[in-house]
Structure 1
Amino acid sequence: MTENPSTARTIHQHPLAYLLGLEGVALMRAFAGEYDRAFTEARIAEVRELLDRADELGPGIDVPPLPVSDGYDGWASSYDGEDNGCFPMRDDVLLPMLDTLTPGRVLDAACGTGAVAQQLLERGHEVVGIDGSEAMLSRARSAVPGARFELGDLTALPLPDGSVDHVVCSLALTHLRDLSPFFTEAARVMRPGGHLLVLDTRGHFLGSSRYPLVKEAPDGRVGHIAGYHHGLGDYLRAALPLGFVVRACEETHLGDSIVGPGVEAAPLTPGPPNIWELHPWARDAANAAKAGQSAVVAWDFQLEETRPV
């Protein structure tokens, strides 16, 4: 699930560029009628202020590519303890889908530290988890001793044909440029009639097909791990030709305020820009740009008993 290092490229991330981008999206929504004259004039004034304060924001940073496995190896020690808004959204939409699965043998693909594997065990399933990060697997083995965990890739699952009843994949498909190889592998290892539950993030960078995450490898290298924004049609085009049918699809969306009134702009941490540190520098623009944005999507696909020829 790692982007080919020969094709991955260094990206340039500039804090002022991100803030001006938020202002632009907010102004476009105002132009469409979502916000009034006063809001529009305030945004234009804030753009001028940000330009005047450019030196406080610092220069742009060139961020090299980092293999996904290296990024997750470095992330493993803090992953479960972070205030990650995706986790409660994952639980809100994925756990009710887990409740519908008939007990059986389940593959937790890209199992991470084992949170979903634990949920599956508690529902009476036999669980095998695979992940591309040895550090994440080490934590999963300690946290969920009742499951079996192996190193593996989403596009080459280390399981025999028809060896599991269901497959679950949470917060991982964003790292694949093309979804088709994973769905092909899921259909191969599943028994007909089983369910493939997929939960995926929708990306932060409005209008872009890319979703890079800046991470630090265990050896201190800092870079961006590959991420992609997939449209809803991308999942369907990957799934339907293989005999999957849609049983459910749920999305969660951001609220109207991602930056609360008590959060003040502060000096930025050195290194690649942290977008969560940047949002308070343009609170109203950030809230307006992201209000109602799709955050995660969850699918319940069932593999038909008779597959397409």
Structure 2
Amino acid sequence: MSGEFRVREMVLGIEGLALLRHAGDGDETFLQERMTEMRRFVLDEEKVPDGGATVSELDAAEGYAIWSAVYDSLPSSYIEVEEPVVHSILDGLETGVALDAACGTGRQTRALTERGHRTIGVDQSPQMMAKAREHAPDAEFRVGRLERLPLDDDSVDLAVCSLAMTHLPELATGVAELARVVRPGGRIVVSDMHPFVIALQGQCHFVRGADELAFVRNHLHLPSRYLDAFGRAGLRVRGCHEPLFNGRLAPGGYEEFIADAARAAWDGLPIVVVWDVEVPA
């Protein structure tokens, strides 16, 4: 599926979200600035950054094969707020055998090995896994999918899955697989894109070519659906963390062009959710 990267519509949407969130109690000058900017964009008096690109939806295998080349070089507000929460949970756990499910370029694989775990990284993308081997050379890596992990039942003490469940149309299968491979008494740490972000912004685009963007679809998973999936898998929730937007806008992106509106639109909203669950002993 292909479409067009509509920068003006995105700019107007962010301006509108800032207005929606602050119309009732916002500073009058700020509100008037938003109205003035929107009027200029609508009338083409204010030119937006050139989109100039088509957008294609790719499956996870093809998408991450392309994304792997630049994934680690791109600043990410999602990762910046997610990692401290995940790592604080990991710091409180005893060492053992750990799984990094959908390990990508291995940022959590490295975090697990640095904490003394014997770590197995699993990902369906050989290109992403090649990067992971560079970041965590002491870990073991296996090609596999989150929905069918290449591990035996009850074979690890800890499983981590970071920002990957959003690519699954439904949660039950992925959660059940994590529960299957973790021993009784073990822990599972899952981070995901917050449903607020996906409902409001949708997809995360990356550069595919000189004049083309692409994305791997993010599916919206409400907390109630996570709780249902955990319950079906027999897991017990220990904690749920929702770190907030930290003010970072993607450098060079369209939101930097309307920074005041963008920060007002996202300020105070959770952008990631982190679940800390355990397999009952």
| TM-score, reference length from structure 2 | 0.89
Gaps of 5+ in 2: none
Matches within 5 A, 1:270-281: 277-281=253-257
Shift of 1:276: 5.5
Matches within 5 A, 1:298-309: 298-305=274-281
Shift of 1:61: 5.2
Question: Closer, same or farther in 2 for the Cα pair 1:60/1:21, shift >3 Å?
Answer: farther
1:176 is aligned to: 168
- How far apart are the structure 1 equivalents of 2:144 and 2:100? 11
Aligned to 2:240, which of 238, 246, 249?
249
- How far apart are the structure 1 equivalents of 2:257 and 2:107? 34
Q: Does 1:286 align with 2:255?
A: no
2:15 is aligned to: 23
Asked if structure 2 preserves the Cα contact closer than 8 Å seen for 1:30 and 1:39, the reply is: no
Q: Does 1:79 align with 2:79?
A: no
Give the length in aligned residue pairs: 280
State the SS of the aligned residue for 2:103.
coil
1:150 is aligned to: 142
2:110 is aligned to: 118
1:262 is aligned to: none
Shift of 1:221: 7.1
CA RMSD after TM alignment: 2.6
State the SS of the aligned residue for 1:65.
strand
Runs of 4+ in 1 over 6 A off after TM superposition: none
Question: Closer, same or farther in 2 for the Cα pair 1:70/1:285, shift >3 Å?
Answer: same
Matches within 5 A, 1:118-267: 118-202=110-194, 205=197, 207-208=199-200, 211-216=202-207, 222-255=213-246, 257-258=247-248
Identity score, percent: 34
- Once the two structures are superposed, residues 104-134 of structure 1 have per-residue CA deviations (whole angstroms, 9 ceiling, x without a partner) of 2111101112221122112221111101111
Q: Output the amino acid matched with 1:245.
A: R
1:265 is aligned to: none
Question: Closer, same or farther in 2 for the Cα pair 1:36/1:92, shift >3 Å?
Answer: same
Stretch of structure 1 that moved more, 91-100 or 81-90: 81-90
State the SS of the aligned residue for 2:225.
helix
Shift of 1:205: 4.9
State the SS of the aligned residue for 1:63.
strand
Asked if structure 1 preserves the Cα contact closer than 8 Å seen for 2:98 and 2:119, the reply is: yes
- Once the two structures are superposed, residues 240-278 of structure 1 have per-residue CA deviations (whole angstroms, 9 ceiling, x without a partner) of 2221111122221114x446xxxxxxxxxxxxxx89521
Shift of 1:212: 1.8
Asked if structure 2 preserves the Cα contact closer than 8 Å seen for 1:70 and 1:217, the reply is: no
- Once the two structures are superposed, residues 169-205 of structure 1 have per-residue CA deviations (whole angstroms, 9 ceiling, x without a partner) of 1121121221111001111111111100011222685
Q: Output the amino acid matched with 2:278.
A: Q
Stretch of structure 1 that moved more, 40-49 or 274-283: 274-283
Q: Output the amino acid matched with 2:39.
A: R
1:89 is aligned to: 81
Gaps of 5+ in 1: 1-8, 260-273
